[in-house]
Structure 1
Amino acid sequence: MKGILLAGGFGTRLYPLTSAISKQALPIYDKPMIYYPLSVLMLADIRDILIISTKRDIIVFKEMFGNGNQIGINLSYKVQDYPNGIAEALIISEDFIGDDNVCLILGDNFFYGDELIKLIHTISSSKSEATIFGYKVFNPKDFSVVEFDKNYKVLSIEEKPLNPKSNYVIPGIFIYNKKACSIARNLTLSKRGKLEITDVNLEYLKRNKLNLKILSNDVVWLDIKNSSTLLDASILVQNIQSKESTYIASLEEIAYKKGYITKNHLSNLAMPLLKTDYGIYLKKIVDNS
């Protein structure tokens, strides 16, 4: 399975923070926002990853990660000229996807919890054509709402409905087979002038090929829409890291524990950072391994 990390858009709801920098490059506590969705893909053993961003911001991510070899993954990059909708990412990445399945994750979505990683592993070894996730919230009107029966069969999907049929919404992570590219290409623009990922999901539903996995409360999900949710995510990360004496989304640590890089390589990555708590943390992993 390959991964697509969509880190485009103008971040207008976070202005002026985003006046000169990508939304996904803003910090969630002690790391850039993009580290968190990237860590999800890495934890799920997805190592071939395409980052899609704007012409202005893709330079930042190339500087941040390069080709990914230093953390044992293969990164490539493509530009989305204008935020024409999430589904456009499937068109942009068609050559990258090829005949593989793909996990598309949004760069402004924060996930934390082993359950999600286990589900991605399960789905990647199945023959499912399309899988979405359901997450229970108190404000479903603000999201794409999924209705399902007692057997978790999807009955309907509605984008920001006035009268939601359930309290379960679809977070920003989707798993598709290669057919998603042709489905996206044949979409018509929505009233918002976008190629909607909801319409991709509805097409799979129409074909009776859409699966739903419900995420429990053991998984934390935050859609970083504004300054308040950005702060919420930062406080959450700070609290977890302080309580558990660990780092969330430490890409170097993940790469080492997954066997993507060697102990010596991790040591070399830690050495220039020893004046920081992060570098000291990585050095302790080397010393204790």
Structure 2
Amino acid sequence: MKGIILAGGNGTRLYPLTKSISKQMLPVYDKPMIYYPLSVLMLAGIKEILIISTPRDIAGFLSLLGNGQKLGIKLEYAIQEEPNGLAEAFTIGESFIGDSPVALVLGDNVFYGSDFGSRLLESSALESGSIIFGCHVADPSAYGVVEVDNEMNIISVEEKPENPKSSFAIPGLYFFDNKVVEIAKNVQPSERGEKEITSIINEYRNNGELKVNIMGRGLAWLDTGTHEALLQASNFVEAIQKRQGLYVACIEEIAYRRQYISKSQLIELAEPLIKTDYGKYLLDIASEKTFQTNK
């Protein structure tokens, strides 16, 4: 399976922070926001990843992450000229996807949970159909919403409904088989003028090829689209890391734990960061002072 991170958009809700920099380059506590969705795909065992961003911001991501070789993965880049909707990611990434299934994660989503890594590995084994997630939230009207019955069969999927039929929001993480490319080509813009991911999800649902993975209370999903939400996400990550001594979305650690890189390569990545707690943490990982992987 291949992966796509959609890190485009203008970030207007975060102005003036994002007037000259991508939202996904802003810090969520001690790491750039892009580290969090990247860590999700790496935890899923996905090593070929396409980052889609704006003409202004693509160079910044290339400078930050390069081609991924130091992490034992392969990163490619593509441009989305205008924020035309999530479904466009699959047509932009058509040549990258090729004949593979694909996972899409939004660049401003933060996930954390004790068994999240195993759920991701199960989802990335997808060969046909599609998988979405459902997360209980206080105000689902701000998101896509999935309605399920008592057996967790999907009844309906709606995009930002005024009167939600359930409290399960659909976070920005999706797994699709290769048919998603052709489905995306036929998606028409909604009233908002965007090609909605919900149109793709409903196509799979109508064909009986959609499954939902409901997140329990032990799994956190944070959207970072507003100043308040960005601060809350940073405070959450700080609390977890200070309490547990284990880092969230540490991409170098994940690369080492997933055996994408060797211990010597991990130490090499840590050395330029040695004056920071982050660099010291990587050295602790290399010396086996910390045993558990972050989820």
Runs of 4+ displaced beyond 3 Å: none
CA distance in 2, matches of 1:265, 1:116: 26
Q: CA deviation at 1:114?
A: 3.6
CA distance in 1, matches of 2:282, 2:117: 23
**Aligned AA for 1:268?**
E
CA distance in 2, matches of 1:42, 1:178: 20
CA contact (8 A) 2:22 2:57 kept: yes
**Aligned AA for 1:196?**
E
Q: Between Structure 1 and Structure 2, how many residues are aligned?
A: 289
Aligned to 2:34: 34
Aligned to 2:287: 287
Cα deviation, 1:156-200, whole Å, max 9, x if unaligned, reads 111111211111111000000111111110011111111000001
Q: CA deviation at 1:126?
A: 4.3
Aligned to 1:208: 208
CA contact (8 A) 1:36 1:249 kept: yes
Aligned to 1:162: 162
Aligned to 2:5: 5
Aligned to 2:52: 52
Q: CA deviation at 1:117?
A: 2.4
With 201-210 and 279-288 compared, the bigger mean Cα shift is at 279-288
**Aligned AA for 2:245?**
S
The alpha-carbon distance between structure 1 residues 70 and 127, as it changes in their structure 2 partners (threshold 3 A), is closer
Aligned to 1:277: 277
Aligned to 2:64: 64
CA distance in 1, matches of 2:41, 2:94: 19
CA contact (8 A) 2:44 2:124 kept: no
Listed as ranges, the gaps of 5+ residues in structure 1 are none
Q: TM-score, normalised by structure 1?
A: 0.97
**Aligned AA for 2:119?**
L
Q: CA deviation at 1:288?
A: 2.9
Aligned to 1:251: 251
What is the alpha-carbon root mean square deviation over aligned residues? 1.1
CA distance in 2, matches of 1:123, 1:28: 26
Aligned to 2:24: 24
CA distance in 2, matches of 1:124, 1:43: 10
Listed as ranges, the gaps of 5+ residues in structure 2 are 290-295
Cα deviation, 1:128-170, whole Å, max 9, x if unaligned, reads 4111111111111111111111221111111111211111111
**Aligned AA for 2:247?**
Y
CA distance in 1, matches of 2:206, 2:179: 14
CA distance in 2, matches of 1:115, 1:247: 15
**Aligned AA for 1:162?**
E
CA distance in 2, matches of 1:173, 1:18: 23
Aligned to 1:130: 130
Q: CA deviation at 1:287?
A: 2.4
CA contact (8 A) 2:45 2:124 kept: no
CA distance in 2, matches of 1:120, 1:239: 24
Aligned to 2:148: 148
1:218 equivalent to 2:218? Answer yes
Q: CA deviation at 1:234?
A: 0.3
CA contact (8 A) 1:8 1:52 kept: yes
SS of the equivalent of 2:99 reads coil
CA distance in 2, matches of 1:193, 1:168: 25
CA contact (8 A) 1:115 1:215 kept: no
SS of the equivalent of 2:222 reads strand
Aligned to 2:292: none
Aligned to 2:241: 241
CA distance in 1, matches of 2:287, 2:116: 30
CA distance in 1, matches of 2:127, 2:2: 15
Cα deviation, 1:61-91, whole Å, max 9, x if unaligned, reads 0000100000111000000000000000011
CA distance in 2, matches of 1:125, 1:97: 16
Q: CA deviation at 1:268?
A: 1.1
